[in-house]
Amino acid sequence: MVMMRPSVPTKKKGTQHGASSASQMTFCRWLINMGYLQKLIVFTLAVIVVMPLVAHYYLGMAEMADQGATNGGDAHLSTLLDMKPAELRGHIAEMFDIRRSVQRELRQLEENRQNVQEELATFHDLLTSAKLDLTNTQLELDRVRTQIDQSMREQAEIVERTLRHISAPVQILPQIENDLLLDGPAAPSLCRQHSCFDYSRCSVVAPFMVYVYDPEAVISTRTDAADKRDTIMGALKRTSYVTPDPSRACIFIVLLWDSSEDDLDEDELEGRLQSLEYWHGDGRNHLLLSVSDDRFTRNVLANVNTGRAMLARSYYTLPEFRTGFDIVLPPLSAVLRTSWRGDKFGPSYTPARRKYILSYQGGKDVNTRTNKESKVGVDHIVSRRKLKWFQDNAPSSRGLDIEGTILAEFEKIKSFSEDDIFLDFKCSGSGLDCSGSDQDWCLCGDMEQRLKILRQSTFSLILASDHQVASSTPLLMRLSEALQSGAIPVVLGEHSILPFSQFIHWNEAVLVLPMGRVTELYYLLKTFQDNDLLSFRRQGAVLYKTYLSSPGAILSGVIAAVRTRISVAANPIMEARSKDLFPPGAPRRTEKVTKVTPESDDVFPPPEPPFASPTYLRNFTATYTDHHSTWNNPPGPFFLYPNKPLDPVMPTDAQFGGSSLGFRPIGKGVGGSGKEYMESLGGNIPREQFTIVILTYQREAVLVSAVERFLGLPFLNKVIIVWNSPQAPSDDLVWPEIHVPVKVLNGGRNSLNNRFLPFDEIETDAVLSIDDDAHLRHDEMLFGFRVWRENRDRIVGFPARYHAWDTNSNTGFLYNANYTCELSMILTGAAFIHKYYLYQYSYYMPQEIRDKVDEFMNCEDIAMNFLVSHLSRKPPVKVTSRWTFRCPGCPESLSTDESHFTERHVCIQYFSKVFGYTPLLYTQYRVDSVLFKTRLPKDKQKCFKFI
């Protein structure tokens, strides 16, 4: 039989895939036929299972393995390959059992490891908790120790204050009927304070009271002058010193109206004085206030025996004026004229140099009152009996032509100087108003024309009347007109006596020169620099407003002069009465706040119990030692304040040398860093606290959140909420109760000026004025308080602003809130202020400014910055880096309105006009804590971690 080879198909390009599949099938059939497939599968499984176990074993023995072990492994592998399938399966099964056993052990170990880790974590948490408890316990122990130390020191201080306290002496008053004549000077002209004043009626511990007689008691007033007389009497009675009870009075005022319907001779006038009910035979403690209905220089008391009475009038000769006893009275008659009072804007301080370097308007009328048969011509200077004394003793000045010398000198000046000088000795176009004597320099008749020239004058020339005339009505009128207009008075005649010169330092506002300097006058005026000119002008405006601007100012100055002479304290300043928003029958709902999330890591001292700042401790010493400051700075000597920003500060060694009362030195004097710093206030002032004042208007949720954040704040005395809304708060409103009292006061009306009312509930010097939406951390408030304690006469706060010159119009300043390296204002929505400035804002600052604040419902913070800079002449102090506040969830603020900035531009320019200048001052630094950004050793702490 013939066997035939199967034909092999020819390869074609289209059959390549089919050929590949066929070859694979042929290769598989060949493996099955040869018996290799089963071995290959077993071998592959063995390799997959055994190799990891072998690798694990040999990796564990890697350090002891050598080349021989490697060869042995290869031999073992070859042995495995030589095993029969049954043996290999058994071996593999054994290996699987080993693997499962190892896995179980590994899982057990992992479970044990996890249990141990959980136990370790538990123990770690317990350890951390124990450490935290230990820390908290240590802190609490430190707080308790601090509280114990504070309590012990407070107790010791209470005992020391009690030992220091002395009760007031018994006031000894003579019976009002006592008219016993006392030995005194041989003549009234010899009276002085020490020889004619009865101090027994004026105890230093009793209020200084004044009794005013009926104005018709001595001299009847003409009918047409009754209104002016009533104006003066009203101004007297509006002062807080006048009493209707003569038994309480220290002094008695008699108003003498010069222009009377009946001309009294000297004997009759003296008799009427003697008949006054409380004259007591010698007029002790009486003040005769001589007021003229016109500007005539009269001496209605000429040659009248006035006993021990003091005199207050505008005209004196040098022999008549009794230094330290009589008072030079500013011309009341001129102030009573409506045109004299001026407008709401004071004189502009700038530019420093005005159109005329010097001006003068007036002259002498040689034909005035030379007829000696005229009664006025004789009596307007001195009485008949004294006329010859003047004629015999007055120094001759006939050889001195003052007018001619001045004219000649200034004609020379005009020839080489570009300065304009206005000298009118003939009163061209207005005529002379010779209301004084023939020895007085007459005023030009048109007062408005005089004031117009003075507003254009840098200096105003005032010529003294005569070598024997100490003061006269024309001289005093020129002085007042010059100060009112911002012209610096230049008085030629050093013998002149100006009003209240015993206490007012006129050399800070008036240039007084002897007549002999007339030829050097121009040179002296040219030496004044711009800062000196503006300083004189500012001081002149202060003195004019305080003592010369109104009948009330003049008469208050007269009373203050007598009171200051005898060292009796002024009456306390009036507090704003606090009216609780919730009457006793309708208490508010409260809820105690127990915990607040801390906002910093600083450890603060425990809050002290609230205590008030000591008040009125310097009643006598301030009156006796500070009269220069009080008389020559606003607001004047008219009231006594609980404390002032610049009360004397003791040297630091006094804290450790017998004057430690109230001081809390850091580290008990050793010093220290964070911990010791936080435990004590330190500084140069005894310990004190501050009051928070919040002005709010229908933002209850924001207000409640703000009050809650004050919980635990150290050195906090009280929180006062001024409710400025006419609507009462919601009935369901729950007020937070924190560690200090929270008082809710009724503002009365919706006015931003209520923010700065000096409420009697404010019992600390330091006041933190804060908006209800201003979010300050505790460390920020504490640091601001510490900085304020070293800058008590300034505003210390957080967001800052500045006044920028309007370069477009060049007419004034604009309000600017941009980021800047120079600032001039601190927003009072977060600022520390001395309570003293609250009195000044409410009682001293011009009413026009408070009215503008009410008109715009804006700018009260600008007004306060103007006021404080005006009084202190210092810029504010900015603390920390805060420039604004963010209040998420708060209702939209008024400050986001476009008109807000427009109104503030207007406010700055308006306030500048009222003050006469822009008192704001620039500053270029802010304050951070001492160790801020300082690298410290690990055992030291910073004062504040973030400040």
Is the Cα torsion angle 229, 235, 240, 241 positive or negative in sign?
A: negative
DSSP string, 796-813: EESSEEEEEE-TTT-SSE
Helix H or strand E segment including 52? helix 36-60
CA–CA separation, 631 vs 557, rounded Å?
9
For the beta carbon of residue 382, count every other beta carbon within 10 angstroms: 21
CA–CA separation, 545 vs 548, rounded Å?
6
Residue indicated by tokens 């030992």: 163
Peptide bond into 635 cis (omega under 30): yes
DSSP string, 231-248: HHHHHHHTSTTB-S-GGG
pLDDT higher at 309 or 156: 309
Give the mean model confidence (pLDDT) for residues 68-81: 62
The pLDDT of residue 848 is 94
How many helices and strands, by DSSP H and E, does the chain display?
Answer: 25, 27
CA–CA separation, 900 vs 6, rounded Å?
110
- Chain centre distance of CA 582: 30
The pLDDT of residue 402 is 66
For the beta carbon of residue 234, count every other beta carbon within 10 angstroms: 11
**307 close to 283: Cβ distance less than 8 angstroms:** yes
Give the mean model confidence (pLDDT) for residues 826-855: 96
pLDDT higher at 456 or 174: 456
pLDDT-derived band at 268 (thresholds 50, 70, 90) equals confident
Residues involved in catalysis: 861
**759 close to 616: Cβ distance less than 8 angstroms:** no
Q: Residue 547's closest CA among 538, 539, 556?
A: 556
The pLDDT of residue 15 is 44
Contacts 24+ apart (CB under 8 A), 407-413: 409/518, 409/519, 409/521, 409/522, 410/358, 410/522, 413/522
Q: Residue 356's closest CA among 417, 408, 312, 315?
A: 417
pLDDT higher at 294 or 518: 518
CA–CA separation, 620 vs 617, rounded Å?
8
Considering the chain, what percentage of its residues have pLDDT values greater than 90?
43
Integer angstrom CA distances of residue 3 from 6, 8, 934:
9, 15, 109
The pLDDT of residue 12 is 41
**571 close to 639: Cβ distance less than 8 angstroms:** yes
The pLDDT of residue 153 is 72
Give the mean model confidence (pLDDT) for residues 275-298: 81
The pLDDT of residue 866 is 98
The pLDDT of residue 48 is 76
CA–CA separation, 344 vs 847, rounded Å?
9
pLDDT higher at 818 or 145: 818
DSSP string, 768-831: EEEETT----HHHHHHHHHHHHT-TTS-EESSEEEEEE-TTT-SSEEEE-S--S-B-EE-TTEE
Give the mean model confidence (pLDDT) for residues 258-264: 59
CA–CA separation, 725 vs 704, rounded Å?
16
Integer angstrom CA distances of residue 731 from 590, 592, 593, 700, 737:
12, 18, 19, 11, 17
The pLDDT of residue 390 is 34
Phi-psi label, residue 307: left if phi above 0, alpha if psi -120 to 50, beta otherwise = left
CA–CA separation, 727 vs 697, rounded Å?
9
Angle at 76 between CA 106 and CA 67, to 5 degrees: 90
Give the mean model confidence (pLDDT) for residues 185-207: 86
CA–CA separation, 101 vs 108, rounded Å?
11
Determine what percent of the chain falls in helix, strand and coil, rounding each to the nearest 5.
40, 15, 45
The pLDDT of residue 947 is 85
591-606 residue pLDDT tens: 998 887 777 778 888 8
CA–CA separation, 742 vs 727, rounded Å?
20
Helix H or strand E segment including 202? none
429: exposed, middle or buried (Cβ count in 10 Å: 0-12, 13-18, 19+) = exposed
700: exposed, middle or buried (Cβ count in 10 Å: 0-12, 13-18, 19+) = middle
The pLDDT of residue 426 is 79
CA–CA separation, 161 vs 182, rounded Å?
42
Q: Report whether pLDDT(764) > 70.
A: yes
Give the mean model confidence (pLDDT) for residues 499-520: 93
The pLDDT of residue 298 is 61
Q: How much is the mean pLDDT over the chain? A: 82
The pLDDT of residue 7 is 42
The pLDDT of residue 396 is 43
CA–CA separation, 879 vs 930, rounded Å?
12
**722 close to 688: Cβ distance less than 8 angstroms:** no
For the beta carbon of residue 581, count every other beta carbon within 10 angstroms: 17
Q: Residue 291's closest CA among 378, 231, 240, 341?
A: 231
Angle at 628 between CA 351 and CA 862, to 5 degrees: 45
pLDDT-derived band at 403 (thresholds 50, 70, 90) equals low
The pLDDT of residue 186 is 73
The pLDDT of residue 554 is 95
Residue indicated by tokens 């206490």: 503
pLDDT-derived band at 387 (thresholds 50, 70, 90) equals very low
**91 close to 53: Cβ distance less than 8 angstroms:** no
Q: Report whether pLDDT(822) > 50.
A: yes
**86 close to 46: Cβ distance less than 8 angstroms:** no
pLDDT higher at 892 or 617: 617
Q: Residue 218's closest CA among 296, 308, 298, 289?
A: 289
690-696/766-771 β-pairing? parallel
Give the mean model confidence (pLDDT) for residues 47-59: 69
Q: Report whether pLDDT(349) > 70.
A: yes
71: exposed, middle or buried (Cβ count in 10 Å: 0-12, 13-18, 19+) = exposed
**859 close to 903: Cβ distance less than 8 angstroms:** yes
pLDDT-derived band at 56 (thresholds 50, 70, 90) equals low
CA–CA separation, 213 vs 321, rounded Å?
24
Q: Report whether pLDDT(359) > 70.
A: yes
Give the mean model confidence (pLDDT) for residues 125-154: 80
The pLDDT of residue 341 is 46
**301 close to 283: Cβ distance less than 8 angstroms:** no
pLDDT-derived band at 540 (thresholds 50, 70, 90) equals very high
825-826/286-291 β-pairing? unpaired
User: What's 640's DSSP letter?
Assistant: B
Give the mean model confidence (pLDDT) for residues 446-473: 89
Give the mean model confidence (pLDDT) for residues 354-370: 75
CA–CA separation, 298 vs 316, rounded Å?
10
Exposed e or buried b for every residue in 178-212, given b needs 16+ CB within 10 A?
A: eeeeeeeeeebeebebeebbeeebbbbebbbbbbb
515: exposed, middle or buried (Cβ count in 10 Å: 0-12, 13-18, 19+) = middle
The pLDDT of residue 244 is 93
**631 close to 546: Cβ distance less than 8 angstroms:** no
The pLDDT of residue 833 is 98
The pLDDT of residue 5 is 41
CA–CA separation, 501 vs 561, rounded Å?
10
pLDDT-derived band at 437 (thresholds 50, 70, 90) equals low
pLDDT-derived band at 945 (thresholds 50, 70, 90) equals confident
For 177-191, 466-480, 564-578, 716-730, which range has the lowest pLDDT when averaged over its residues?
Answer: 177-191
Residue 652, SS3 per DSSP: helix
Q: Report whether pLDDT(816) > 90.
A: yes
Integer angstrom CA distances of residue 246 from 300, 872, 931:
26, 40, 63
For the CA atoms of 855, 861, 862, 865, the dihedral, rounded to the nearest 10 degrees, stands at: 140
201-243 residue pLDDT tens: 888 888 899 999 998 888 877 766 788 888 888 999 899 999 9
Q: Report whether pLDDT(357) > 50.
A: yes
